[in-house]
Chain A
Amino acid sequence: MILGVDVGGTFTDAALLTGDRLVTGKSPTTPGDQSEGVMDAVTEALESAGAAAGDVRRFVHGMTVGTNALLEGRVARTALLATEGFTDLEELGRQARPELYRLCAGHPPPLVPAELRVAVPERSGPDGVLRELDEEALRRALADIDVEAMAVCLLWGFLHPGHERRVAELADEELPGVHVSTSHETAGVFREYERCATTVVDAALSPLLRGYLERLTERARDAGLPEPEVMLSSGGTAAAASAARHGSWTVLSGPAGGAVGAARMSAATGAGDAVGLDMGGTSCDVSVAFGGLAAVGAGRQVGGRALALPMVDVHTVGAGGGSIAWRDAGGALRVGPQSAGAEPGPASYGRGGELPTVTDANLLLGYLDAESPLAGGVELDRGAAERAVGDLGDELGLALDQTASGIARVASAEMAQAVRVVTVERGIDPRDMALVAFGGAGPLHAAQIADELGMRRVVVPNASGVLSALGLVVSERRRDLVESVLLAGDRLTRENVAAVVRRLGERGREELGEADAELRAGYDLRYAGQAFELTIPGELEPDPGELRRAFDRAHDDRYGYADPEAALELVTVRVAVALPGEDLRPAEAAAAEKRGTRRVRFGDEMRDATVLGAGEAAVDGPAIFELPGSTLVVPPGWRAQASADAVSVELT
Chain B
Amino acid sequence: MSDLDPITLQVMLGALRAACDEMGAVLVRSAHSANIKERRDASTALFDAEGEMVIQAEHIPVHLGAMPSAVAAVLGEEHRPGDAWVLNDPYRGGTHLPDITVISPLFWESELVGFAASRAHHADVGAKEPGSMPADSRTLDDEGVVIPPTRLTMDVLHDLARRMRNPSQREADLRAQLAAGRTGAERVEALIERFGLETVRAGMRETLDYAERRTRARIAELEDGGREARDVLEAAGDLDLELRLRATVAGEEIALDFTGSAAQHEGNLNCPLPVTLSACYFALRVLTDPDVPPCAGAYRPLTVTAPEGSILNARPPAAVAAGNVETSSRVADLVLAAFGRALGQGTMNNVTLGNDDFTYYETIGGGQGACPDADGPSAVHVAMSNTLNTPVEALELEFPLRAVEYAVRRGSGGAGRHRGGDGVVRELEARADMRYSLLTERRRHPPPGADGGRPGAPGRNLLDGRMELPAKASGTLRAGERLRIETPGGGGHGKD
Interface residues of A (CB under 8 A from B): 85-89, 91-97, 99-107, 114, 125-126, 155-156, 190-193, 327-334, 396-398, 402, 405-406, 409-410, 413-414, 416-417, 420, 424-427, 486, 529-532, 558-561, 563
Contacts and interface: CB of A to CB of B under 8 A. Distances in A.
B34 A530 contact: yes
B344 interface: yes
B10 A410 contact: yes
B29 A532 contact: no
Nearest to A195: B393
Given A95-B380, A396-B6, A561-B32, A191 B393 contact: yes
Interface in B190-212: 210-211
Interface stretch (B137-145, B148-156, B405-413): B405-413
Nearest to A105: B377
Given A334-B10, A406-B6, A88 B406 contact: yes
B18 A95 contact: no
Given A102-B290, A330-B211, A406-B6, A155 B392 contact: yes
Contacts of A409: 7, 11
A85 B482 CA distance: 14
A325 to B, nearest CB: 10
A96 B344 CA distance: 14
Given A329-B213, A330-B210, A104 B376 contact: yes
B404 A85 contact: yes
A410 B2 contact: no
Contacts of A93: 379
Given A85-B407, A329-B218, A532-B37, A559 B30 contact: yes
Contacts of B365: 95
Q: Can you list the 8 inter-chain pairs with the closest CB atoms, starting with the nearest?
A: A101-B290, A406-B7, A106-B377, A95-B365, A560-B30, A104-B371, A104-B374, A330-B214
Contact of B7 (A333, A416, A532): A333
Contacts of A559: 29-30
A95 B379 contact: yes
Contacts of B380: 95-97, 106
Contacts of A396: 6
B5 interface: yes
B389 A531 contact: no
Contact of B406 (A86, A329, A560, A561): A86
Contacts of B172: 561
25 contacts: A85-B405, A85-B406, A92-B407, A95-B365, A95-B388, A95-B389, A96-B386, A103-B377, A104-B368, A104-B375, A106-B368, A106-B375, A126-B393, A126-B397, A191-B394, A332-B9, A409-B7, A413-B10, A413-B11, A417-B18, A420-B21, A420-B22, A427-B29, A531-B37, A532-B37
A329 B18 CA distance: 22
B10 A86 contact: no
B285 A101 contact: yes
A101 B211 contact: no
Given A327-B6, A486-B397, 15 more contacts: A95-B379, A101-B290, A102-B286, A103-B368, A104-B370, A104-B373, A329-B214, A331-B6, A331-B213, A332-B210, A333-B7, A409-B11, A410-B7, A532-B38, A563-B32
B33 to A, nearest CB: 10
A409 B11 CA distance: 8
A333 B5 CA distance: 9
Contact of A97 (B211, B364, B386): B386
B344 A103 contact: yes
A503 B244 CA distance: 66
A115 to B, nearest CB: 11
Given A97-B381, A398-B5, A333 B370 contact: no
A531 B38 contact: yes
Contact of A125 (B282, B396, B407): B396
Contacts of A414: 14
A331 B21 contact: no
A486 B282 CA distance: 41
Contacts of B18: 417, 420, 424
B382 A97 contact: yes
Nearest to A558: B29
Contacts of A426: 25
Interface string B59-97: 011000000000000000000000000000000000000
B29 to A, nearest CB: 5
B266 interface: no
Contacts of A328: 214
B381 A96 contact: yes
A333 B10 contact: yes
Given A190-B393, A331-B6, A561-B172, A86 B407 contact: yes
B379 A91 contact: yes
Contacts of B2: 331
Contacts of B7: 333, 398, 402, 405-406, 409-410
A333 B397 contact: no
Contacts of A104: 368, 370-371, 373-377
A103 B376 contact: yes
Contacts of B61: 100-101
A100 B281 CA distance: 12
A96 B14 CA distance: 26
A219 B176 CA distance: 58
B379 A92 contact: yes
Contacts of A558: 29
A125 B396 CA distance: 7
Contacts of A427: 25, 29
Q: Specify which of A97, A532, A558 lies most central, judged by the most chain B CB atoms within 10 Å of its CB.
A: A97
A558 B7 CA distance: 35
A153 B374 CA distance: 31
A616 to B, nearest CB: 35
Contacts of B179: 560
Nearest to A408: B7
B217 interface: yes
A103 B286 contact: yes
B393 A156 contact: yes
Interface string B252-284: 000000000000000000000000000000100
Nearest to B29: A559
Contact of B388 (A94, A327, A561): A94
Nearest to B427: A85
Contacts of B398: 529
Interface in B327-380: 344, 364-365, 368-371, 373-380
B239 interface: no
A236 B61 CA distance: 41
A531 B344 contact: no
Nearest to A157: B393
A414 B290 CA distance: 19
Interface in B381-425: 381-382, 386-389, 391-394, 396-398, 402-408, 410, 424
Contacts of B292: 330
Given A126-B396, A396-B6, A417 B14 contact: yes
